[in-house]
Amino acid sequence: MLQWKKKPGEAVAIDEILIEIETDKVVLEVPAPAAGVLVAHVVADGGTVVSDQVIAQIDTDAKAGAAAPAAAAPVAAAAAAAPAAAAVDKGDVAMPAAAKLLADNNLSVAAVAGTGKDGRVTKGDVLAAVAAKPAAAVAAAPKAALAPVAAPVPMKLGDRPEQRVPMSRLRARVAERLLQSQSTNAILTTFNEVNMAPVMEMRKKFQDKFEKEHGVKLGFMSFFVKAAVHALKKFPVLNASVDGNDIVYHGYFDIGIAVGSPRGLVVPIIRNADQMNFAEIEKKIAEFGQKAKEGKISMDDLSGGTFSISNGGTFGSMLSTPIINPPQSAILGVHATKDRAVVENGQVVVRPINYLAMSYDHRIIDGREAVLGLVAMKEALEDPARLLFDI
């Protein structure tokens, strides 16, 4: 859970955003199901909740400023009933998944009727009990029983301060997936340099007309997406994934674009990129950028993907080894374009050079396909007409 948008005692309108809840992929905005007054927060900022859990109480008849403490009586009754319920012999019988839910929702195994074998409490039993729990009783639950609040903990170290901040769900999930990628893929990276002058000249020549015609700026990323699709068509294994002992070749090109957001890295997907023109790709990238900035990237935006592009050049990176986004098998790293001295026809000349890096899963992609795939991207960028004629 992230942050409440309304305080107890404040009036809320139906569908007004009450709170933002962070999952391991996106931030969800939860609207008010009815108009009224927010009586109480059941879970504090930073707490942990599960699906269908009651998180607040709204009094549809009260007026603003009247946060009702009247829920204390039901809570007291519930608390008094708990020891008695605990006396019921359940035979220590909570399934593992159910036990976690019981702990998350401050329930005892004795308080839930088990429907499993020998009266065991299942995950479904706990979810049913949570859904049926009286709203008033839940709303006034003692704060000590709530999930811990993820607040910064300052450390008193004189003039050498530290601050301990728990990872957000999104950051923890990103860390988990990166470790998974490195532990399950045989990652190798190949590099090449690209003379970006032809792309820069084409962009300069057409960017004003392009923006007037399509209502979006012509950036560089659409060229990289087009070049990537161009190479993936030539070397389909770069667009494949591993499923057990099978190699899955995808007959479509869904390109993930790594986007930095205030809450961490997300990789929304441009679907069927091979069927899109430059303007459609630029509009989609702009849309993702705005959504990431506002924290409105959806689960659908992040689902799937057959190949990814990471643009560290936005932040000035010269070179990096990008980590594969599982279950994909390859990723392109794009870096900052800088004027560099290169040799052409025996002469040292200055050219705007971009170093490209492609990491790939060596379990299914051999060096030949990886190197030639990156060369195909390089050739497409150094002669953009190839992208127009698909050659």
What is the pLDDT, as a whole number, of residue 39? 79
Dist CA 270 CA 296 (whole Å): 16
- Whether 186-388 and 2-59 are alike in CATH topology: the answer is no
> Among this protein's residues, is 250 annotated catalytic?
no
Instruction: Specify whether the CB–CB gap between 312 and 333 falls below 8 A.
Output: yes
Report helix, strand or coil for 121: strand
What is the pLDDT, as a whole number, of residue 65? 52
Give tens-digit pLDDT for 121-139: 777 777 777 766 544 333 3
Dist CA 110 CA 89 (whole Å): 7
Give tens-digit pLDDT for 285-305: 999 989 888 878 888 898 889
User: Which residue did the predictor score with more confidence, 288 or 390?
Assistant: 288
| Helices within the chain (DSSP H only) | 72-86, 96-104, 123-132, 135-139, 169-184, 197-214, 221-234, 278-294, 299-302, 367-382, 385-389
Dist CA 49 CA 2 (whole Å): 11
Catalytic residue among 104, 250, 274, 362: 362
Give tens-digit pLDDT for 158-184: 678 888 888 877 778 778 888 888 888
Q: Which CATH code fits 2-59?
A: 2.40.50.100
Lowest mean pLDDT of 194-203, 234-243, 252-261, 325-334, name the range. Answer: 252-261
Question: Is residue 144 pLDDT above 60, yes or no?
Answer: no
Strand pairing of 255-257 and 307-311?
parallel
What is the pLDDT, as a whole number, of residue 1? 46
Length of the chain, in residues: 391
CATH architecture type of domain 186-388: 2-Layer Sandwich (3.30)
What is the pLDDT, as a whole number, of residue 7? 80
DSSP type of residue 88 = S
Give tens-digit pLDDT for 4-54: 777 888 888 887 877 776 665 556 667 777 788 887 777 777 667 766 677
Catalytic residue among 15, 366, 383, 390: 366
Dist CA 27 CA 170 (whole Å): 9
Q: Where are the domains of the chain?
A: 2-59, 186-388
Report helix, strand or coil for 320: coil
> Among this protein's residues, is 41 annotated catalytic?
no
Helices H, strands E: what count in the chain? 11, 19
Torsional sign, CA 231, 232, 237, 241: positive
Dihedral Cα 256, 262, 264, 267, nearest 10 deg: -10
Close Cβ partners of 58 (under 8 Å, ≥ 6 residues apart): 12, 32, 33, 34, 36, 37, 38, 39
